[in-house]
Amino acid sequence: MKILAFESSCDETSCAVVEDGRQVLSDIISTQVPIHKKFGGVVPEIASRHHIEDVLPVAIEALEQAGCSWSDMDAIAVTQGPGLVGALLVGVAAAKAVAWAIDKPLIAVNHIEGHIFANLVQYPDLEPPFLSLVVSGGHTMLVVVRDYNHFEILGQTRDDAAGEAFDKVARVLGYPYPGGPHIDRLAKEGNSSAIHFPMGLSKGHNFDFSFSGLKSSVINYINTMKMKKEEIVAEDVAASFQKAVVDVLIEKAMEAVKVTGMKTIALAGGVAANSELRTRLEEECSKRGIRMCRPSLTLCTDNGAMIGCRAYYMAKAGEFADMSLNADPRLPFNAEQIKM
Ligand code: ATP
Ligand code: MG
Ligand code: FE
């Protein structure tokens, strides 16, 4: 089964052709990062306009690279949400138009489920059940993937997402959007015990996360240092902040492994690209005999392949959308909330 998948939830216009869920025949990503950089973050209206310009050329390139024509597609998939409404609408309109024109079924995918399924693209042998730590620009969650179409949420952030905290801290340090990669690079040169930043909602607070207190305390630190005209060592700030984030992510992930008895943990979302998170999680997992999965850097951030993969398993379960499909900027993650 060949699926043409559209992803346009934020600032990447992407289209992929995915065969039988895991075989990526093409995955074209047109990023708007250089455009939004000068504004310090994604400007929704500008993002929508660029998606409109890019969506068809990107789809055509995806087909060409896969050596396919429109009519070779067995289904059309699209990110329905969550994301920026104007951005999502472009993908949804394009996918509906193509599905109607070639008379093939439409599949509406949840973007966060897509991020998790990027792991299935990366590891052909990976099968549920497994635990997933989702750390993206807008989400932080611990999810049990019980089966391909059955998820359980263990916990999620009560305020800021991990990626959001990275972006905001980088911004006050004077680095452009997206800030995560800058913090990652600076932290390598810094001393992580130079400054003590509080770890949000650690032990005893179940599996929920909180990053806004940490973010504020980093911003307060920087402002105080500026007021006192003292030197700010950006490398030390980055390393100390990153350690505080990674400490809490790892603590909760390992506790979740223990409580659920899962033998595999899959990292998902843009922050999964963070080098400290990857290496430290790998160490902790290997101590416990747990398999750690993480998508390649391109599969961590937004891409069409992960949407095509997720869509395949929905199609197998008969979960199709119809022409009344609309974008949903706050599409809920379809899962059971479980109390541990
Ligand atoms: P969501 O998926 O929640 O809707 P999004 O699609 O904007 O949000 P992603 O594409 O998953 O988010 O990831 C982007 C985020 O990943 C940004 O916040 C970015 O700073 C962060 N990021 C990317 N690389 C790194 C890194 N090496 N270290 C830390 N954060 C990173
Ligand atoms: Mg992005
Ligand atoms: Fe994303």
Ligand 1: distance of its center to the CA of 302 in Å? Answer: 8
pLDDT at 314: 98
Residues with CB under 6 A from ligand 1: 9-10, 82-83, 111, 115, 136-139, 163, 166-167, 178-181, 184, 269-271, 273-274, 301-302
Residue 125 among known ligand-binding residues: no
pTM (predicted TM-score): 0.96
Ligand 1 mutation pick, 80, 166, 298, 300, max ligand atoms within 8 A of CB: 166
**Cβ 275 vs Cβ 303: under 8 Å:** no
Instruction: Tell me the C-alpha distance between 207 and 337, whole Å.
Output: 11
What are the start-end ranges of the H helices in the chain?
A: 33-37, 44-66, 85-102, 111-122, 162-172, 180-187, 212-227, 234-260, 275-288, 297-300, 304-316
Question: How large is the ipTM?
Answer: 0.98
Residue 224 CA to ligand 2 centre (angstroms): 32
Asked if 157 and 289 count as a contact pair (C-beta separation under 8 A), the reply is no
Confidence grade of residue 204 (pLDDT, cut at 50, 70, 90): low
How far apart are the C-alpha atoms of 159 and 273, rounded to whole Å? Answer: 22
Class of domain 2-116+299-337: alpha beta
Question: What is the DSSP annotation of 255-285?
Answer: HHHHHH--SEEEEESGGGG-HHHHHHHHHHH
Any known ligand binding at 302? yes
Cα(289) to ligand 2 centroid in Å equals 33
Is 81 flagged in the annotation as binding?
no
Domains 2-116+299-337 and 128-295 share a fold: yes
Q: Per residue in 41-69, pLDDT tens? A: 899 999 999 999 999 999 999 999 999 99
Q: Which CATH number fits domain 128-295: 3.30.420.40, 3.40.50.300, 3.20.10.10, 3.20.20.220?
A: 3.30.420.40
For 5-23, how does the pLDDT look when each residue is reduced to its tens digit (9 = 90+)? 999 999 999 999 999 999 9
Residue 41: predicted pLDDT: 87
DSSP string, 150-186: EEEEEEEBSS--HHHHHHHHHHHTT-PSS-HHHHHHH
Residues near ligand 2 ion, CB 5 Å cutoff? 10-11, 302
Task: Please give the DSSP secondary-structure letter assigned to residue 145.
Answer: E
Domain boundaries, the chain: 2-116+299-337, 128-295
CA 273 to chain centre: 10
Would you give the DSSP letter of residue 71? G
Nearest CA, atom 30, ligand 1:
180
* Integer angstrom CA distances of residue 46 from 90, 133, 135: 12, 31, 25
| pLDDT higher than 70, residue 205 | no
ω into residue 329 within 30 of 0, thus cis?
A: no
Confidence (pLDDT) at 317: 97
Look over the chain and give the mean of its residue pLDDT values, rounded to a whole number.
95
